Amino acid sequence: MSIFTYETPSEKPSKLIPGEKIAEFQAILSTDVHEEAKALGDGFAVEIETRFFADFEKAGDQMVHVSTFCVIGDMVYMTYYANVEAAAEDPNHQRARFAFCPLADPSNMTVYDIQAVGDTCSGLPVNLVYDTIFAQKDDDTLILLWTAKVGDRYYRLYRTYTISTDTLGEIGVNRFRVGETEYDFSTSGIQNALTENGFGYKTMYSDIGIMQKFTSRTEHGETWYYTGTYSGDFNAIIKSRDFITWEFVAQPDFPNESKWENAVYVIGDRCFYFVRQHDHTGYGFLTVYDLVKKTWETPVLIGDSQSRGDFICYEGRLYLFHAPIDREHIGIVRIDTEHIANSRVVLQAHMHTSCFYPFVQTFHNSLYAMSYTVNRQHIRLGAFDPKIYFEE
Model pLDDT for residues 115-145, shown as the tens digit of each residue: 999 999 999 999 999 999 999 999 999 999 9
Query: Does 391 score more than 80 pLDDT?
Result: no
331 touches 347 (CB < 8 A) = yes
Interstrand relation of 258-267 and 317-322 (parallel, antiparallel or unpaired):
unpaired
| Res 206: pLDDT | 81
| Res 8: pLDDT | 87
| Res 392: pLDDT | 61
Average pLDDT, the chain: 96
Query: Does 215 score more than 90 pLDDT?
Result: yes
Give, in degrees to the nearest 5, the angle at Cα 257 between 225 and 179.
Answer: 40
Mean pLDDT (whole number) for 284-307: 97
CA pair distance 38, 322, nearest whole angstrom: 15
Give the pLDDT band (50/70/90) at residue 166.
Answer: very high
| Res 374: pLDDT | 97
Percent of the chain at pLDDT > 70 equals: 99
**pTM of the full predicted structure?**
0.96
Mean pLDDT (whole number) for 301-313: 96
Query: Does 109 score more than 80 pLDDT?
Result: yes
60-102 per-position pLDDT tens digit: 999 999 999 999 999 999 999 999 999 999 999 999 999 999 9
337-365 per-position pLDDT tens digit: 999 999 999 999 999 999 999 999 999 99
Mean pLDDT (whole number) for 183-188: 96
